[in-house]
Amino acid sequence: MREQTLIQAEKEKETGRDVMVVKHLFKSFGSNKVLNDFNLTLGNGENLVVLGKSGSGKSVLIKCIIGLLTPESGIIEVLGQQITDLDHDELDKVRAKIGFLFQSNALYDSMTVRQNLEFPLRRHWMQVTQQEVDQLVQEALEDVGLAHTINMMPAELSGGMRKRIALARTLILKPEIILYDEPTTGLDPITGKEIIQLIMTIQKKYRSSSVIISHDMNCVRLAADRIVVLIDGRCYAQGTYDELKRNGDPVIHQFFE
C-alpha cells in the first residue's frame, strides 16, 4: 500500500503535482483554536507563501507539517506519507527530505559552523564518510557565500550571516521541501532582500518546493508563486501577489498597506 503511494508520489512529483496536502487540520492550545479546518496543497517546485498576522498560527502550521507538533485531527500528507501515522524512525526518514529554516536560526551555540552543518548530515545519513561530509559542508557554505566562516562560532557572526548559515544547514541534506519560518524577521530590509534572493537562487539550483511563512510584504512579493492568507485558523483567501493586491476585501488589503 505504502509502496503504491510512494510510486504515486514520485509520479506526482514528476508531473508537477502536489508534494504536500493538508486537509481539515485542527490544532488548539487550551481554548485557543489556532488552526480551525485548515486546507493547503503544495505543488512540485512551487513557492507558496502563507501570509498572516503574528500569532495567527502560521508557525504552528509548519511545525505540524514537520511533526514537531501533533494536530488534534486532520490529514498531513508529505511526499505521499501521512505524517501523523508515522513512528519515530519513519518520521525521521521523511524529515531528512524536509528542510526547516527556523525563525531564530537555531544554530547550536556550543558548536562551530562546521559542526553545525555536520550535525544533521551525520544524524540523518549514518553511512557517510568524512570526505563526503567535508565536501558537502564546503558546497553548502559556498552556496550561501560564507565559506570563510567554517571554523567560527555562531556568536561571532552577524544576524544576516547566521541566517545564511542556518540556510546552509537546511540545504545540506538537499531537501525536496523547505519550510521557512519568517526568514526575514529580525533583519534589516536590505539584508532581508538579500536573503530572499539567496533563497530564490537556491530554490532554482536544487529544484525544491517551499512553504514560506511571512508577514513581510517585500519578501512575499519577491518569493511568492502563490499566497495563502491565514486568518482565524483557516485559509481566508489565496492567489498570486497581484490577484490579492487587487482584491477589494479590506481584511486582505491591510497586508498591502
Partner 1 sequence: MELPVKTSEFLKQTGEASAFAGRFFKEAFRPRYEIAEFTRQCFVIGYKSFPLIGLTGFIMGLVLTIQLRPSLIEYGVESQLPAMVGIAIVREIGPVITALIFAGKIGSSIGAELGSMKVTEQIDAMEVSGTNPFKYLVVTRVLAATLMLPVLVMLGDAISLFGSYLGVNIRGVTSFNLFYTQVFDVLAFGDVLPAFIKSFFFGFAVGIIGCYKGYYSAKGTEGVGQSANSAVVVSSIVIFIIDLVVVQITDLLNLN
Minimum Å gap between C-beta 119 and partner 1 is 6
- Nearer Cβ to partner 1, position 40 or 121? 121
Binding-site member from 25, 83, 107, 224 for partner 1 (CB under 8 A): 107
Q: Which of 1, 88, 131, 155 binds partner 1 (CB under 8 A)?
A: 88
- The stretch among 104-112, 185-193, 196-204, 233-241 that binds partner 1 (CB under 8 A) is 104-112
Please give the Cα distance from 43 to 21 (Å, whole number). Answer: 9
CA distance 194 to 200: 10
The window from 88-96, 200-208, 213-221, 243-251 that contacts partner 1 (CB under 8 A) reads 88-96
Interaction of residue 100 with partner 1, rule CB under 8 A: yes
Yes or no: say if 218 and 197 are a contact pair by the CB < 8 Å rule: no
Binding letters toward partner 1, positions 14-53, x by CB under 8 A: ----------------------------------------
Q: How far apart are CA 7 and CA 193, in angstroms?
A: 38
Side-chain-side CA neighbours of 3 within 13 Å: the count stands at: 0
Query: What distance lies between CA 62 and its chain's CA centroid?
Result: 7
92 binds partner 1 (CB under 8 A): yes
Helix, strand or coil for residue 185? Answer: coil
Please pick, from the candidates 97, 124, 221, 234, the single residue that binds partner 1 as defined by CB under 8 A: 124
DSSP letters, 33-61, are EEEEEEEEEEETT-EEEEE--TTSSHHHH
According to the binding rule CB under 8 A, does residue 103 interact with partner 1? yes
| Complex with partner 1: residue 1 or 155, whichever CB lies closer | 155
